[in-house]
Amino acid sequence: MLSVFAAVGIGVSLLIPIATKRLSLGHYAGGVWLWACGLFTLGTTDNRALVTVCVAVAGAGLSLASQARVYILQTQLPRNLLGQGFSTAAVLLYAVTPASLVGFGILASRWGTNALIILSGTLLLLVGVGLSTRAHRGTPRTGSATQSKLAADTEQP
């Protein structure tokens, strides 16, 4: 299954630049939705063929969400803050990963793996709903006053 996940993830990563030159919060939300649906359905089935499809869908969603996140960081942060933005994102990712693995291990021994996969998919679906709502409304990342201040701070004398 890992090879299916990896192959689909790599394939989607290669197709995204061909399909579109710009990614948005809507693309990120779509990736989260795919990832969540793959996980949720994975936790509810024992059918081997459906498990393979779920792993592929989750891999496609994770790849799309990851690519969109990086694109949004690159295009929304001022140039002089790119290093800090990517560093902060990396620190958060590296801090959350071990904590989630420990939590997943403890809860899996009590509730079982399928229940946790369903819970993870449900939580991701909730995040996807929030992202979709925000993307649909076109809510800007920061207020115009903050954008003006950032623009003023980055101007060269």
In DSSP notation, 116-148 reads HHHHHHHHHHHHHHHHHHHHHHT--SS-HHHHH
Give residue 136's pLDDT.
Answer: 77
Does the pTM surpass 0.85? The reply is no
Q: What is the pLDDT of residues 22-45, one digit of tens each?
A: 999 899 999 999 999 999 999 999
| pLDDT grade for 144, boundaries at 50, 70 and 90 | very low
Tens-place pLDDT, residues 102-129: 999 999 999 999 999 999 999 999 998 8
Q: Could you give the maximum distance between any two Cα atoms of the chain, in Å?
A: 64
Look at residue 137 in the predicted model and tell me its pLDDT: 78
